Amino acid sequence: MERFARRLVSSLPGLVFRGAGEVHNRPALAVTLYAAALGGVLASSFGRIADRTEVHDSSQETLLRGMKEEGLRTVERRYASNAEIYTPGDPADSLYLLLSGVVRTYKTYGELKEATTALLKDGGVFGALDLTEEGGRQQETAEAVTEARVLIVRKSALAWLVRRRPEVSFALFSAFSERGGQTEALHGILLQREVTSRLAMLFLHLGKRFGERGETGELTIDLGLTHQQLACMTASTREAVSKAMIELREEGLIDVRDRKRIALPDMLALLERVENGSARKSSQAASG
Amino acid sequence: MERFARRLVSSLPGLVFRGAGEVHNRPALAVTLYAAALGGVLASSFGRIADRTEVHDSSQETLLRGMKEEGLRTVERRYASNAEIYTPGDPADSLYLLLSGVVRTYKTYGELKEATTALLKDGGVFGALDLTEEGGRQQETAEAVTEARVLIVRKSALAWLVRRRPEVSFALFSAFSERGGQTEALHGILLQREVTSRLAMLFLHLGKRFGERGETGELTIDLGLTHQQLACMTASTREAVSKAMIELREEGLIDVRDRKRIALPDMLALLERVENGSARKSSQAASG
DNA sequence: CGCTGATTTGAATTAGATCAACGATGGTGG
DNA sequence: CCACCATCGTTGATCTAATTCAAATCAGCG
C-alpha cells in the first residue's frame, strides 16, 4: 500500500516523494509526508481498502480472544448517546475497549471551554493508557457520541494477562500507538494558524478515520457534528467555523449534504489548501 | 503524594479538589485538575520529590537489564549538540532510548516552519512508538539538543524480548505513556489561545520535567532556550514570545536569571494566570 | 404554533503576525 | 586579539485574521 501511495502522490504536480535522507526542509515536504500518511485513504479511493484498520482490528481480536480464553474478568457496558463514561478524577484503574459506536474524550480548559482530544471508533482503547500507575486518575472526560458498547478491564487483570500471554502486549502496543496517531493528528490540526486550515485538517483526519464511501466514491463524514463541536475540535469558535465552512464550500473542497453530512470530494485538494494557506505566511527558517 | 497534592491544592483559595462524579463543568476545574497533575512538582516544592520520574527510571532499568541479560543486539551512539538523529522518511524500524542528554523531536509545517513536538531527557524513548508496523517511516525529525547518548534497538529484537520476558513490556508501556503525557502537555499548550498563556503553560510543563530546584527552593529551567525555540514550542513567533516574556516577567510570574535561566517563583500563580487569561474570554458553554 | 438550539451574518475590537530596524551577544577565523 | 558575522532580544508601525458582541434566520419538536 505504501508503494501505491507513493506512486499516487508522485503523480501529482508539486508532490514528489523522496527517499530517506533527501527530505530536509524542502518545499511541499509536509504535503508529501502527510499524503503518505493518508495513503490508506487515498489508496482506498481507488478501490482499495486501507490496511491500517484491518491490522488494528485483528490485534484487538487477539486481545479479546486472550482475555476470553484466560477467563479474565471484564465488564461490558452500554452507554446511551451523550452518556458520560468517566470524568476527570475518576480512578484510572481500568482500560476501556470500544466494541461498537463512537466515543470522544475531551478536556476542559478555561472555565467552560472544552477541547476534544480524541474521537474513537470500534476497536479503540481509551482510559489513561498505562498499565503501571494503578493509583492514577482520569485527566479527561469520555463520553459516548453514538450509542456505544464498552468493555472494561482492570489494568491489574490486563497486567496479569500480559505476563501470561506476552502476545497480547502487542495488541496493546498497537492500540496505544493508534491512540498516539490520534493525538499526532490533533497536533497537525492545532499547529495550523488559520481556522480554515485547521478545519480542513480536521476533515482530512475525520475522513480518514470515519469516512464512509458512498455510491459515487466520495468520502462522507456522517457523525452529525455541529459547528460548535467542530469549533471544540479546532480550538476555535462557532462563528469562525461557520465562516470557514462557507469558505471551504465555495472552494468546492467540502460539500454539506442534507443535514450535517460532510462530503469530501477531493482530499488531496483539501490537503493542498492547508499547505497553501499556511505557506503564504511562513517565514523565518526556524532553528529552535 | 496524591493525597499531599490534594491537600495542597485545596488549601488554596478557589481551588477545591472534588471527588469523582462531582467534577462537572465547575469554575476553576481545569486549575484543580492541572494542579493535581502537577502534584509531583508542587509537592516537591515543599521538600518532597516527585515520584513519577523515579518510577520511570526504574522501569528503564528493567528494560536495559532485560536487554543486556538476553544479549540483545543494540547500538549505542553519541550525538553532538544539534546533530540529527533521524529525519522524516527514515525507516522506523528501531526504537531509541535516550541514555543521557536532551533530545527534541519536531515536525515541519508549512514550508519552513517547524514545531517542537517533544522534549526528552534521559530515560525517554523516541522513534515511532509502535512495535507492530515494521515497514513504517519516521514522521518527524529528532535532534540532539545537548550532547546525547542514545541506545538504538531494533523493534523486531524488542518484540522478541517481550515474548521472552513479558515484564519488559511494562517498561515499554511506561515509556510510551510517558511519551503520551508529553503530547498531552503539548495539547495543553496549543489549546491556549493567547501567546502569553501558551508560554505560561509551556513553562509549567518544562518546569515539571526539566526544572531544577535551587538553594532558594525555586524551580529553574536551565536549558538555554532561545526565544526562537520557545516560539517553536508555542506555535508562535520570536517577537510575540519576547513581548509575552516581558509581560510574564512584569507580573512576577517568571524571572530570567543571568543568561536564559528561567526561574518559576510560583507555579500555581502561573497556572492561575493561564486560567484567568483564557477565562476572561471564555463564553458559550460548549456541548460539543 | 411557540419553543429551543443551530446556523448565519454583520460590525466593532483586539491579538498577533509581519515587516523593518537596532543594539547586544557570541562565536569564527584571520 | 580583533574584526566579522550570524543569531538573539527588543521595539514600533502596519495589517490581517479571528474573537467578541449582537441579532436575525432557520430547523426540528413538543
Best residue in B38, B130, B162, B238 for a mutation probing chain A (most A CBs within 10 Å): B130
pLDDT value for B216: 75
Instruction: Assess whether pLDDT exceeds 60 at residue B31.
Output: no
The tens digit of pLDDT for each residue in B45-85 reads 332 233 344 445 567 788 888 888 888 889 999 988 888 89
B162 touches chain A (CB under 8 A): yes
pLDDT value for B244: 95
Mean pLDDT per 10-residue segment, chain A (288 residues): 28 25 30 46 35 53 84 91 89 92 82 77 85 77 90 92 88 86 87 92 92 81 89 92 94 84 89 66 37
Are residues B87 and A275, on separate chains, in Cβ contact within 8 Å?
no
Are residues A110 and B278, on separate chains, in Cβ contact within 8 Å?
yes
pLDDT value for B86: 93
Among A59, A29, A53, A31, smallest CA distance to A41 is for: A53
B243 in contact with nucleic chain D (CB within 7 A):
yes
The tens digit of pLDDT for each residue in B260-281 reads 889 998 898 998 888 765 434 3
Residues B56, B106 contacting (CB under 8 angstroms): no
The tens digit of pLDDT for each residue in B110-142 reads 655 778 888 888 888 998 877 766 678 888 899
* DSSP codes joined into one string, A88-133: TTSB--EEEEEEES-EEEEEEETTTEEEEEEEE-TT-EESS--SS-
Model pTM score: 0.79
Are residues A229 and B129, on separate chains, in Cβ contact within 8 Å?
no
CA angle A221, A226, A230 (to 5 degrees): 75
Are residues B228 and A287, on separate chains, in Cβ contact within 8 Å?
yes
Report chain A residues whose CB lies below 8 A from the CB of B36.
89, 137
Give me the mean pLDDT over the B25-41 stretch: 41
Cα–Cα distance for residue pair A3/A83, rounded to 1 Å = 42
DSSP classification of residue A137 = B
All 3 cell numbers of residue A239? 462563528
Distance A227 CA to C2 C1' (A): 25
* Spatial strand order in the sheet of B255-257: B212-213, B219-221, B261-264, B255-257
Distance B286 CA to C1 C1' (A): 29
For strand D, which nucleotides have at least one atom less than 7 Å from a protein CB? 7-13, 17-22, 27-28
* Spatial strand order in the sheet of A125-126: A74-79, A148-154, A94-100, A125-126
For strand C, which nucleotides have at least one atom less than 7 Å from a protein CB? 5-11, 15-20, 25-26
Dihedral sign from CA coordinates of A162, A165, A167, A168 = negative
The residues facing A207 across adjacent strands are none
Chain B residue at shortest CA distance from A145: B288
A239 in contact with nucleic chain D (CB within 7 A):
yes
Nearest nucleotide by C1' position to the B237 CA atom: C17
Instruction: Assess whether pLDDT exceeds 60 at residue B287.
Output: no
Mean per-residue pLDDT of chain B: 75
- pLDDT tier, B171 (very low <50, low <70, confident <90, very high otherwise): confident
pLDDT value for A112: 57
The tens digit of pLDDT for each residue in B237-252 reads 999 999 999 999 999 9
Q: What percent of chain B has pLDDT over 70?
A: 73
